[in-house]
A and B are shown apart, each in its own frame.
Chain A
């Protein structure tokens, strides 16, 4: 069936089976592999995308539900014209919040949504906001650091030696 929606700022009209899972449609049909699948059952958050600005799980969305929506995937987060990264993306890099990186796209989008609703979250609120995104590598601490920093819009400078790295 024909489905019309806006994807990362661009009008799209596609033809897809109505029951095609959105995560499959994005990855296989549209080649946007930034959105990942980790469990297929809504329990890991790797498939998180933004739908009309809200975080949703694309493994639990069917193609027909895209109709008329504004969809943002991780590919659409940085500036399309100059490639400038979103402050959350920059902070993830600077604060060491990326290890294997597989949870990262979903985690970043959840963080973006969190900051849009709550621009000055405490660390506890950040953890709550990211509660639906599992990470197996980082232990979350640096992710929380990064989101806190993105919220503060810390000026990025030349990396300095980390003060607590060594005695």
Chain B
């Protein structure tokens, strides 16, 4: 590797160190591991949304040459239950299937062709049960019960002030219902891993996972094995976005490894299986009522939120809790009643996805702001600025904003920007059959786990015998570039250039538990631990160098690129020398950090065991230039501005990368992406019909950072991985309404919906 010799300094766009190996194809993702003497494992899925398993005929599969084992529920030791918070998901379904992707039989075979054939030969006899496919149906008394304890995973209220009653005193009240579909993560590297069992019984797994440390516990609980006897290695992920948080292949793979006679087993969900079996974003229905006073002050919010969590819990309760915490937007609303139902159905499993419960309500609250602005005769940007949270305000959940709060600055930045100032002339320049509109959205997203669960990380740094600094990362890098951020932070403190730095990706045997790669937390929490570890190591090295250099005090020692100097005498010692003289235990530094939590004592949200409320939020204001074709209804985003506040910016290029990526996924969510479900069956389980944006569908995006200082953050930063996703849908919906007068309340804002509404309004206005 030949890096330019420059010191890694925070605040600069240092190119990501992981880019080189990725650009040459050298980087090995989990999917790129093909150990010698491999066995392939695959799963037969029920294929029926709800039913009782009457029998499994695997005799033909077992007899097939090259099939090593066919396993069913009876072969699963332990509880046969996986899950992150609620363990309600079977590793192999025994009595019942609850969604079409429920796994019933696990097959081990010599190669993929034999595996495919064996799976084809297995017949599962399922007696169908009545099924339910939407939350409101599932809440009815007579609805089929997905789980024995009923269909409600979580029912909760978040209130502040006088709740919904305060709507009566408002000068203006607007009411609307919104609906958003299931969304697919669609990472390009699908769910996969390899695992083997060592002679002493230990299971070793290389897996595409956002939570390698927690995976051990999930596997241990599900299979009844000691989680300490499981080693999980998490290479760079080819995308995660929440879909690899929580066991996907892990428990099945560990089970397979136990039956492979010591041979390594590989499981890889190809794209169609990833659609059928993988986790999804919750589809949500939101009924909103919002009221304001004549001067524009928001006064009251009452909303009812129905989250479709599919067949199993995954993180459903936590997703809804976060959505409810954000349901009023980044605004002061003194009176709120937010009611939430998180409901089981026989749809695919909803779990974690970037924007985690918040992107859904963002559609609602931002469109409600536009509706209010129209009713009040106020400019929509001014209405937002007027009500936007400032430090010291209480948010809609009643939590005082103690920490950095930059939404006003984001909106004011937008207000000064040419894209906002020149919007009218741009709109007027629309050509034939095109209508142009501009829409805005103000959004926010909490960082970290919130109360009830320690958001913790443990960082280890080592001076190696070769005189390099090795960072042992505890958090997976799924593309967000946290590994590069750690590189940069460590380099900043230790005053080294990239050629002196190494980084080890998470490995439960070499690095330390640091929580999942999720919730916008990894750079903040691990970064804070890393700073402490680096500073402690630096202090130690200065002392040890003083010993070697016979300096009578540590003052005057300086850690510089490749060596330690004694400034008064000019003597130096190379890092390699320090690396060889001192034993390993004296060359490492381990430190930990837990993200602070809110200290407010709230009298609401009591139903949430964990994940409510949060102390830190990142903010953003987005603006979308949109062109609607009157003949086809097709919506194109022509230009886009994102202004984001995430404390201080560690690396402007990485910051922009996250913003661009969130906006692009948000454009997909806004315009074309939806998991099309018919009685629990995914009708578009492929990229031909699940429409992701291509390079021709995402415009140039202008990304500006508003810098505040987050005093508790490493170098003053906060995570911004999710907030950028939340704004495109409402901004584009607002732009479509601005362009055509059509108010779409159902996502995606597809061409056929636009054309249908346009037709209806044309008919209404017919000469």
Alpha-carbon distance A75/B27, docked complex (angstroms): 11
By the criterion CB–CB under 8 Å, are B25 and A105 in contact? Answer: yes
Alpha-carbon distance A94/B6, docked complex (angstroms): 14
Q: How many residues of A contact B (CB 8 A)?
A: 64
Q: Which residue of A lies closest to B663 (CB)?
A: A139
By the criterion CB–CB under 8 Å, are B665 and A167 in contact? Answer: no
Interface residue B15 (Cβ < 8 Å from any Cβ of A): yes
Alpha-carbon distance A69/B49, docked complex (angstroms): 48
By the criterion CB–CB under 8 Å, are A96 and B653 in contact? Answer: yes
CB contact under 8 A between A100 and B696, given known A43-B688, A74-B24, A136-B187: no
Return A103 CB to nearest CB of chain B, in Å.
5
Q: Which of A32, A36, A39, A74 contacts B687 (CB 8 A)?
A: A39
CB contact under 8 A between A41 and B15, given known A34-B26, A99-B657: no
Q: Which residue of B lies closest to A99 (CB)?
A: B479
A137 contacts across to B, CB distance below 8 A: 239, 479, 657, 661
Q: Which of B12, B23, B653, B661 contacts A101 (CB 8 A)?
A: B23
Interface residue B155 (Cβ < 8 Å from any Cβ of A): no
Most central of A38, A104, A143 by chain B CB within 10 Å: A38
Interface residue B32 (Cβ < 8 Å from any Cβ of A): yes
Return B655 CB to nearest CB of chain A, in Å.
7
A5 contacts across to B, CB distance below 8 A: none
* Interface residue ranges of A1-45 to B (CB < 8 Å): 27-28, 31-41, 43-44
Alpha-carbon distance A159/B701, docked complex (angstroms): 22
Q: Which of A35, A37, A98, A161 contacts B16 (CB 8 A)?
A: A98
By the criterion CB–CB under 8 Å, are A165 and B660 in contact? Answer: no
Interface residue B4 (Cβ < 8 Å from any Cβ of A): yes
What's the count of A-B pairs with C-beta under 8 Å? 209
Alpha-carbon distance A136/B654, docked complex (angstroms): 15
Interface residue A57 (Cβ < 8 Å from any Cβ of B): no
Return A155 CB to nearest CB of chain B, in Å.
13
By the criterion CB–CB under 8 Å, are B187 and A28 in contact? Answer: no
Alpha-carbon distance A45/B100, docked complex (angstroms): 29
A105 contacts across to B, CB distance below 8 A: 23, 25
Could you give, for residues 122-165 of chain A, a 1 whenever the CB lies within 8 Å of some chain B CB and a 0 otherwise? 01001110111111111111111000000000000011111011
Alpha-carbon distance A101/B16, docked complex (angstroms): 11
Q: Which of B27, B188, B692, B698 contacts A46 (CB 8 A)?
A: B188
CB contact under 8 A between A141 and B189, given known A38-B271, A100-B238, A161-B12: no
A60 contacts across to B, CB distance below 8 A: none
* Interface residue ranges of A41-92 to B (CB < 8 Å): 41, 43-44, 46, 73-75, 77-78, 85, 89, 92
B6 contacts across to A, CB distance below 8 A: 158-159
* Interface residue ranges of B453-501 to A (CB < 8 Å): 478-481
Q: Which of B11, B22, B413, B688 contacts A98 (CB 8 A)?
A: B22
B14 contacts across to A, CB distance below 8 A: 159
A36 contacts across to B, CB distance below 8 A: 31, 188-189, 238
Interface residue B376 (Cβ < 8 Å from any Cβ of A): no
Return B662 CB to nearest CB of chain A, in Å.
8
By the criterion CB–CB under 8 Å, are B28 and A33 in contact? Answer: yes
Alpha-carbon distance A127/B696, docked complex (angstroms): 6
By the criterion CB–CB under 8 Å, are A131 and B271 in contact? Answer: no
By the criterion CB–CB under 8 Å, are B24 and A34 in contact? Answer: yes
Q: Which residue of A lies closest to B4 (CB)?
A: A158
By the criterion CB–CB under 8 Å, are B241 and A136 in contact? Answer: yes
B695 contacts across to A, CB distance below 8 A: 126-128, 130-131, 133, 135, 140, 143-144
Q: Which residue of B lies closest to A163 (CB)?
A: B652
Q: Which residue of B lies closest to A156 (CB)?
A: B4
By the criterion CB–CB under 8 Å, are A101 and B18 in contact? Answer: yes
Q: Which residue of A lies closest to B111 (CB)?
A: A28
Return A137 CB to nearest CB of chain B, in Å.
5
A132 contacts across to B, CB distance below 8 A: 694
By the criterion CB–CB under 8 Å, are A41 and B25 in contact? Answer: no
- Secondary structure at the A interface, as helix, strand, loop or mixed, is loop
By the criterion CB–CB under 8 Å, are B24 and A166 in contact? Answer: no
Interface residue B186 (Cβ < 8 Å from any Cβ of A): yes
By the criterion CB–CB under 8 Å, are B704 and A136 in contact? Answer: no
Interface residue B706 (Cβ < 8 Å from any Cβ of A): yes
Q: Which residue of A lies closest to B689 (CB)?
A: A43
By the criterion CB–CB under 8 Å, are B19 and A101 in contact? Answer: yes
By the criterion CB–CB under 8 Å, are A100 and B657 in contact? Answer: no
Interface residue B34 (Cβ < 8 Å from any Cβ of A): yes
A32 contacts across to B, CB distance below 8 A: 25
A128 contacts across to B, CB distance below 8 A: 695-696
By the criterion CB–CB under 8 Å, are A99 and B25 in contact? Answer: no
By the criterion CB–CB under 8 Å, are B13 and A98 in contact? Answer: no
Alpha-carbon distance A35/B24, docked complex (angstroms): 10
A34 contacts across to B, CB distance below 8 A: 24-26
A75 contacts across to B, CB distance below 8 A: 24-26
Q: Which of B25, B270, B271, B481 contacts A33 (CB 8 A)?
A: B25
By the criterion CB–CB under 8 Å, are B687 and A165 in contact? Answer: no
By the criterion CB–CB under 8 Å, are A41 and B686 in contact? Answer: yes
B694 contacts across to A, CB distance below 8 A: 130-132, 134, 140
CB contact under 8 A between A85 and B661, given known A41-B686, A165-B13, A166-B652: no
Alpha-carbon distance A108/B22, docked complex (angstroms): 11
Q: Which of B238, B479, B662, B707 contacts A166 (CB 8 A)?
A: B707
B698 contacts across to A, CB distance below 8 A: 139-141
Interface residue B664 (Cβ < 8 Å from any Cβ of A): yes
CB contact under 8 A between A167 and B696, given known A85-B24, A137-B239, A137-B479: no
CB contact under 8 A between A96 and B656, given known A101-B479, A159-B15: yes
Could you give, for residues 678-713 of chain B, a 1 whenever the CB lies within 8 Å of some chain A CB and a 0 otherwise? 000000001110001011101011111111000000
A28 contacts across to B, CB distance below 8 A: 34
By the criterion CB–CB under 8 Å, are A136 and B32 in contact? Answer: no
Alpha-carbon distance A148/B627, docked complex (angstroms): 26
A85 contacts across to B, CB distance below 8 A: 20, 23-24
By the criterion CB–CB under 8 Å, are B23 and A165 in contact? Answer: no
A73 contacts across to B, CB distance below 8 A: 25
Return B646 CB to nearest CB of chain A, in Å.
11
Alpha-carbon distance A112/B190, docked complex (angstroms): 26
By the criterion CB–CB under 8 Å, are A93 and B652 in contact? Answer: no
Q: Which residue of A lies closest to B692 (CB)?
A: A134
Alpha-carbon distance A140/B694, docked complex (angstroms): 8
Return A124 CB to nearest CB of chain B, in Å.
8
Alpha-carbon distance A33/B185, docked complex (angstroms): 23
Alpha-carbon distance A25/B577, docked complex (angstroms): 47
CB contact under 8 A between A161 and B13, given known A27-B32, A144-B695: yes
Alpha-carbon distance A123/B696, docked complex (angstroms): 10
CB contact under 8 A between A33 and B32, given known A158-B4, A167-B706: yes
Alpha-carbon distance A158/B7, docked complex (angstroms): 11
By the criterion CB–CB under 8 Å, are B707 and A141 in contact? Answer: no
By the criterion CB–CB under 8 Å, are B704 and A167 in contact? Answer: yes
* Interface residue ranges of B7-51 to A (CB < 8 Å): 11-16, 18-20, 22-29, 31-32, 34
Q: Which residue of B lies closest to A28 (CB)?
A: B34
Alpha-carbon distance A124/B24, docked complex (angstroms): 26
Q: B-side interface residues toward A, CB under 8 Å? A: 4, 6, 11-16, 18-20, 22-29, 31-32, 34, 185-190, 236-241, 270-271, 413, 478-481, 649, 652-657, 660-665, 686-688, 692, 694-696, 698, 700-707
Could you give 9 example pairs across A and B, Cβ below 8 Å?
A: A32-B25, A33-B28, A92-B23, A96-B19, A101-B23, A134-B687, A138-B657, A159-B4, A165-B652
Task: Add 20 more A-B contacts to A43-B686, A98-B19, A142-B657 (CB < 8 A).
Answer: A32-B25, A33-B25, A33-B32, A41-B271, A41-B688, A93-B15, A94-B15, A96-B16, A100-B188, A101-B19, A102-B29, A105-B25, A134-B188, A134-B692, A136-B665, A142-B656, A142-B660, A159-B12, A162-B653, A164-B704
5 nearest A-B pairs in the assembled complex, by CB-CB distance: A34-B25, A165-B652, A100-B479, A101-B22, A102-B238
